Structure 1
Amino acid sequence: MKKPAPSFAKAFKGKRVLITGGLGFIGSNLARTLVKLGAKVTLLDSLIPEYGGNRRNVRGIEAKTNINLADVRDRHSLPEFLRGQEFLFNLAGQTSHMDSMTDPETDLEINCRAQLTLLEACRKHNPRLRVVFASTRQIYGRPDYLPVDEKHPLRPVDVNGINKLAGEEYHLLYSQVHGVPSTVLRLTNTIGPRMRVKDARQTFVGVWIKQILEEKPVEVWGGTQLRDFTYVDDAVEAFLVAATHPQAVGKVFNLGGVGRISLRDLAALLVDVAGQGSYTVREFPADRRKIDIGDYYSDCGLIERELGWKPKTNIRQALAKTVAYYRKELPHYL
């Protein structure tokens, strides 16, 4: 992992930081960086099997973090975790778009109602807590134009997107009306070590990497869709920038990746980077097509102009680092 910037060390050393979804993909990578920065890190995670939490993600830093198995839907325990904290990275969520369509009530509880509960607890027990909320590019729906900037209309195509949009609005409202200083980051296709690979609930790239390493052919649905990908270390840096930059409060920013690539070319690149495996292209399944957004890649110029963040890791580098991690760690993620 890249050496943390000195300014981050000054901002976080000795500070109390809470990460919801802290045993998950981005949360655990964020925790590792914050531990290096000298922060006092508390991780909150439900470890529900269908979601992204995995104790393996924090191997080596367990003794340097305070790990709590709790659910953000539990309104009675939240005040205890929030009191005294100085930063909250709110990454707890249900990420599967298909699950949100087959079980919309659970998605509502986690991605919408629990967010309101969490912010109410902040208002009552720690109103100056600095909050950064992880949202998703899914809320834009099918793009009217590319690349997609923050001015694009918001038209979610699934229940997950609707609930994440409500979660965003709650954070912005509580920042504006109640003074709970919050920032929203709209993530797009974040990949890297510690992501979920045993199924597609988090990202299809994880499944592809698992299949490549198991010598199984990758299935590419469609193949012409264009995407951009953010490497997790770059995403972590964006969260730290958003939490510490005074210009970030009350605002929404897109994250993005270096360049864009079709899914067919992504599969070919993954095979090349791994030095093994194969892929086949098939027609897009009907149930997935209904919620597919087609081409999508982000315009993340706003966060670069206002906060100075931009992605650094290109897709080949991101895939190479991720494949190298799972060559050693795959059994712990199945």
Structure 2
Amino acid sequence: MELFKDKYTPALIDRTGDQMRLFYPEFETQHFKELVFAEGWEVLEFKARIRRITESLTLVLPADYEKALHILEQAAPQLRGVEYLFVPDFIEVNGLAPERYDLSMRYLTVFTPYSSSEFAVRPFIQRYPNQTIKYLMEWTESHDEHIRRLASEGSRPRLPWGAKLGEFIVDPTPVLPILYALRQDESLYVRKSVANHLNDISKDHPDLVLDLAQVWQGQHPHTDWIIRHASRSLLKKGHPAALSLFGYHKQEAVHIENLKLEQDQLVTGEDLYFSFDVVNHSGEPQMLRIEYEIGYMKANGKQAPKRFKCSDKMYPEGRSTVRTKQSFKRITTRKYYAGLHSLTIVVNGQETESVSFVLKVD
């Protein structure tokens, strides 16, 4: 599997240099390449490689900040995708001085449709919070969905790969007007960002997000989608108020029976197949959020639980059989340890039946 850092091949750096030369003939492509692949390149991870390329561009492009930005602006349409995050990163590295602030903010919106400025805007929020929040509010009214998304994504308190915005983790109220402005956005791309932003907030302020969800619920289909997606962490944790808000009530008349594994031993790389019956004795259909929890063996000999969504729907009265599987193929985000694991079925936040199995690590 290709890692993000492996996207930075000599060919990509060559293409970048060629684009620069189109709009700045004095650009020294060979020198740029030598700077990028200088000593230590091989040990750099993804974000560090972005920064190395940014610093190399800084040394080869004109020292005049505005002139350098204009060159990047002309090249940007050909530098699309996550691998070109060094384009907005150029602003983060070179544009934080007060006299460059307004120019930097303008160019963050220029670059974000091609390679998102969500990381580059964060140091500006940290250094100039009130001033930058005003810009973000203006961006919520942009005709461009990428710029509207930047307002939400760039101010997320816990953006993956991004520096945490500690002030908003403690008190997210300054950014709530941004999310309110985007709560009915026509773009799914923007709505996903708003939902992810609220999900971030829910990790530190669950009651705030639930109060907001209660107010927003029923206002618009787009808003309903946002609050449902924003509550996913609370639902996964079995938060009673979140479950109740979306109609998942504790079920005394619903039981899980016949939980069975196709095999009680497996090797990494295989799938764990299992089935169970949902027995609804209530006499009427019931809305059920069914998850399963894998107790993964860890290096310390203890299990660490991880929940996965199985189904989320109305179950009829009577017996319904569910069959599914969980993959144990190797992935970069999880290390497997040999030993006894567990599988537990969770219904509307309540743990029910459990079984154990043994994982062997090849």
Q: Under a length normalisation based on structure 2, what TM-score does the superposition of the two structures give?
A: 0.28
Higher RCO (C-alpha under 8 Å, 6+ residues apart): 1
State the structure with more CA Rg. 2
Q: What TM-score, normalized to structure 1? A: 0.30
